[in-house]
Amino acid sequence: MHLRKIFVPLFIVLGTVFCIMIFKSLCFIQEYPEDKTTLIFENKIFSDKPFIIEDGSILVSYNILKENLDPYIYWDPEENRVIITTRNKTVRLKTDSLTAIINTKPVKISFPVKVLKQPYIPARLLEDLYNIEVRKVDENRVIIDRRLPVKKMGRAIEREVYIKLYPSWFSPNVAKIHAGDSLVLFDLKRGWYQVRTDNGIIGYVLGKKLEVYEVKNKISVPAKKMPPPVRGKLNMVWDYIHSADFNIRREKPPKGLDIISPTWFSIVDGKGTIESRANLSYIDWAHKNNLAVWALIDNNFDPELTHEFLKSSDARENIIRQILMYAELFHLDGINIDFENINIEDRHLLVQFMRELVPVMHEAGITVSQDVTVKSQSPNWSLCYDRAELGKIVDYMVLMAYDEHWAASPKSGSVASIGWVEKGIKSLLEDVPPEKVILGLPFYTREWEESSGPNGTSVVKSKTLSMTQAQQTLKKNKARTSWDESAGQNFAYYTKGNSVFKIWLEDEKSIELKASLVKKYNLAGTAAWRKGFEVPAVWDVIYNVLKAPVRM
């Protein structure tokens, strides 16, 4: 008797639930309100004014594009400009203007960018830039798809197939298709495919009700222009140029050198004005000697000046136009961006500048390299570089693996001890692939003077020496020298008066050890700071490590 009292109500409840679920599985619901604009981005649905249509042209929401298609699309509200960067294009779109600037060239467009609380960008332009397809279903519904090499499709194999709102038999229906009708397929979950109909309805269908097939598309990807191959690893040197009348024509390049980087260009104001020390006869000399010229461009190491030009899209464009002009005028093979001492707050703006610069340079056949420091906790000298993002953009990243102990260091020590250099390489390789990394080598050292100050405090001073000056200093002062295994360098010291002098030498042996790390980590090559600081024998060492064929 008690069991009947329990089971009868239970059966009634279960039967009611079952009937409700059966009813739900047979009913249809409307997925999109007819009076509201809806954007279907592949298998995502957006309904908060995701697009507008004006004079028959579709314009897509900037916010949706940034969140779902291109996180790097850039809106400058102060200058009313949208900037889009792809691998080979930098596009600047001024609000309400029918002219776009593509890689510094004006191009007419059919419809301008509109701003309604946020920018709306013409779909026709987006299709070409992002290799997407934008399709209008009706006045309130638009579909966007990436043009993928392979698109997965499903064809209904039963007379009637119901598309469910959720991957469940008991889910309400959102649409019905018939045998032979095709659907775009997305994820497969517990035997249910997420699908989309031709008119943008998204739901779920059991996989066994579909014949799955693939549609292949021909996607043209422009070939990336890279510098001509050289034998072995790249061998580069920076050449410090103090004036435009510098004469190099009678010099003979060192053995095995591939690239020379003259320090020709400096940005001197917040508007992006570039000061030049370039010289055509230098280019002629370099090219006659089979050297590529990657001219260096610096930011005067001034954080406030750098902030001024990085924050302005007009100033960034001005810089890029000038670099392109100088590259064409002086027949440059590459550029080397040496921006240092940057406010950490401008970290993302530095990435944006490089994203805008590189496509323009690539179109002109110019290789782009960028210098970065070894990782540290210094905001302005290390944390200001988003190495991972910059590494995606540039052709090469040059690791300035020196100044471990800098000129004003409170403690004497090596400019670049072998362990510190190797640690710096491994740390950079966490963010940047080895084939893009060029190892910076120091052709200089420092002489450290340690003395006692007031109240027994230690006073440390330093002086920068070239390799030749260091050897002359040792000879003049009859310094004692021994090999420092931990530093991978010869260490010298001597006393004079109440001071002790110490030098961790850069010479053939220390440079060979550091250059050998290029082979160990399969890096792109080396770059040395700077030409004129070395002893001639160093070039033979670098050549043997980077260029000489392996003897069997």
Banded pLDDT at 453 (limits 50, 70, 90): confident
DSSP state string for 521-540: TT-SEEEEE-TTSS-THHHH
Beta-sheet pairing, 265-267 with 210-216: unpaired
C-alpha R_g of the chain: 32
- The whole-angstrom separation of Cα 486 and Cα 504 is 11
Reported as a single tens digit per residue, the pLDDT across 251-269 is 999 999 999 999 999 999 9
Give percent of the chain with pLDDT exceeding 90.
86
Reported as a single tens digit per residue, the pLDDT across 11-22 is 444 444 444 444
Q: How large is the average pLDDT for residues 149-157?
A: 97
Q: Which residue has the higher pLDDT, 226 or 322?
A: 322
Model confidence at 34: pLDDT above 80: no
Residues forming beta bridges with residue 503, ordered by sequence position: 447, 492
Banded pLDDT at 231 (limits 50, 70, 90): confident
The residues, ordered by sequence, that sit 6+ positions from 466 with a Cβ below 8 Å of its Cβ are 443, 444, 532, 533, 534
Q: How large is the average pLDDT for residues 327-334?
A: 97
Using an 8 Å Cβ cutoff, are 54 and 60 in contact?
Answer: no
pLDDT of residue 457: 86
- The whole-angstrom separation of Cα 368 and Cα 358 is 7
Structural domains of the chain ordered from first start: 38-146 (3.30.457.10), 148-223 (2.30.30.40), 234-442+507-546 (3.20.20.80)
C-alpha distances out from residue 540 to 109, 287, 520, 536, Å: 56, 22, 19, 8
Q: How large is the average pLDDT for residues 530-538?
A: 97
pLDDT of residue 28: 83
pLDDT of residue 14: 46
Q: How large is the average pLDDT for residues 266-279?
A: 97
- The torsion angle over the Cα atoms of residues 469, 470, 475 and 477, rounded to 10 degrees, is 110
Reported as a single tens digit per residue, the pLDDT across 239-253 is 999 887 777 878 999
What percent of the chain is helix, strand and coil (3-state, nearest 5)? 30, 35, 35
